[in-house]
Amino acid sequence: MAEADRRKIQGVLAFEAVLEGEARRCAKGRAEAAVTGRGTESPAETARLMEEVLQAENLRKALKRVRSNKGSAGVDGMSVTALPGYLKEHWPRIREELLAGRYKPKPVKRVQIPKPGGGERGLGIPTVLDRFIQQAVLQVLQPLWEPNFSEHSYGFRPGRSAHQAVARAQGYIAEGYGVVVDMDLEKFFDRVNHDILMGLLMRRVEDKRVWKLVRAYLNAGVLEGGLVKVTEEGAPQGGPLSPLLSNIVLDLLDKELEKRGHRFVRYADDCNVYVKSERAGQRVLASIGSFIEKKVRLKLNREKSAVGKPSERKFLGFSFTGGKEPRRRIAPQALKRLKAKITGLTRRTRGVSLERMIQELAQYVIGWRGYFGYCQTPSVLKALDGWIRRRLRSVLWTQWKRGRIRYAELRRRGVGKDLAAQTAGSVHRPWRISKSPALSYALPNAFFTKLGLPSLLPG
């Protein structure tokens, strides 16, 4: 066993021993309280939620989740693998600070990640210790809100997915609600109003230590360019707690839409309302936009928000065909991103072997297929499959370089003399040759499948 793996296991076991000791002390305290008749409130009551957060089993579950998620180090440079050892040494102090309401989180580390539609989005990476504590808090807070969240909300919720949201939208369209109000919240995670969020938290949670801890995370600041910037609004994406906090705020929008009887689907800050006419859609956009800005204190992006046909708008990477039985199809923007990625991976000038290229392609294609394979337009996936194989044939033709080598490779792969000579001597460029009968015969679909290239078609 490697030394690093041994240290990691030892760290986990050491923290487990700390938790076991705490669990025994808590059990003894409860037994003594039962004998004397002076028991404390149940930790499930919201006045003592911090005790529930710090229960040994909850902490084990939180540590397991943080370790499985891995992720980068925060501002202190501590890795996920180093966390259990750190907890073994420092947990008693940290636990005491949490119980006393004195714990101070570190600032998050700001990194920029590309947005699917272009540009960049700021991601805040908390330290692994703060991710651990946030996860433990999340596991206690989420059950308090989950039963009361809207059935129309799908993002960051247990047992719910983007595919379910897309299917719900498709159902509304099939029912005759053929106009969509596509609302885009401008920089949502950067603009969450802290006072509104804390007010909503306080309605359901009585434990002031939890209030202080959540507020401390909201105000922890962002380290960017060597300087810490104070955060007076927003809930930085990247921490385990942020998705729940965002749903708590946006539940205000859900409840308002429900009160008005609208058919809608929300996934995080993507919200679509389905109506029967353009005129109704414009009324909804104006009135709900006003509600969002006045009551939720968020800003609607007027340039990106619009009323239109579902076939002309996108929702979670999908759009829909027209007609009485709409089908899910991949949005043009998503197809464009796929082609751009694959074009980069299959550049003829990359200087890597075909086997290496296919290995990298496979990793990307499998993930993409897992999401977009949910479309109902297999002909599009079939055409993309053919396009990818054609690019790979073009790559191999380029790697063979000279006519003599090309002729020999074609002959070796069963192509007749005349066709091999004609193709090898062609003056056409690789992309045109990649569609030739000779290359289709010499490099059939089965050839790429054998090398590990998966199909975009599910199953």
Residue 46 has phi, psi (to 5 degrees) of: -70, -10
Please report the pLDDT score of residue 445 as a whole number: 95
| Residue range 67-94: mean pLDDT, rounded | 92
Q: What is the mean pLDDT of the chain?
A: 89
Rounded Cα distance between 288 and 270, Å, is 14
In three-state form (DSSP H/G/I as H, E/B as E, the rest C), the secondary structure along the chain is: CCHHHHHHHHHHHHHHHHHHHHHHHHHHHHHHHHHHCCCCCCCCCHHHHHHHHCCHHHHHHHHHHHHHHCCCCCCCCCCCCCHHHHHHHHHHHHHHHHHHCCCCCCCEEEEEEECCCCCEEEEEECCHHHHHHHHHHHHHHHHHHHHHCCCCECCCCCCCCHHHHHHHHHHHHHCCCCEEEEEEECCHHHHCCHHHHHHHHHHHCCCHHHHHHHHHHHCCCEEECCEEECCCCCCCECECCHHHHHHHHHHHHHHHHHHCCCEEEEECCEEEEEECCHHHHHHHHHHHHHHHHHHCCCCECCCCCEEECCCCCCECCEEECCCCCCCEEECHHHHHHHHHHHHHHCCCCCCCCHHHHHHHHHHHHHHHHHHHCCCCCHHHHHHHHHHHHHHHHHHHHHHHCCHHHHHHHHHHCCCCHHHHHHHHCCCCCHHHHCCCHHHHHHCCHHHHHHCCCCCCCCC
| Comparison of pLDDT for 324 and 346, the residue scoring more | 346
pLDDT on residue 44: 44
pLDDT, tens only, 19-28: 665 655 554 4
pLDDT over 70 at 124, yes or no: yes
Q: Which residue has the tokens 């194989």?
A: 389
pLDDT at 345: 96
Query: Where residue 221 falls among pLDDT bands split at 50, 70, 90?
Result: confident
Average pLDDT over residues 323-352: 93
Q: What is the pTM of this model?
A: 0.85
Q: 355-388, pLDDT tens digit by residue?
A: 999 999 999 999 999 999 999 999 999 999 999 9
How far does Cα 31 stand from its chain's mean position?
Answer: 44
Rg (CA), the chain: 28
Q: Given a cut of 50, is residue 41 above it in pLDDT?
A: no
Note the pLDDT of residue 370.
Answer: 95
- pLDDT(155) > 50: yes
Residue 286 — pLDDT band, cuts 50, 70, 90? Answer: very high
pLDDT (0 to 100) of residue 23 = 55
Contacts of 80 (CB under 8 A, 6+ apart): 66, 67, 69, 70, 71, 128
Query: Greater confidence, 3 or 386?
Result: 386
| 174 vs 44, more confident | 174
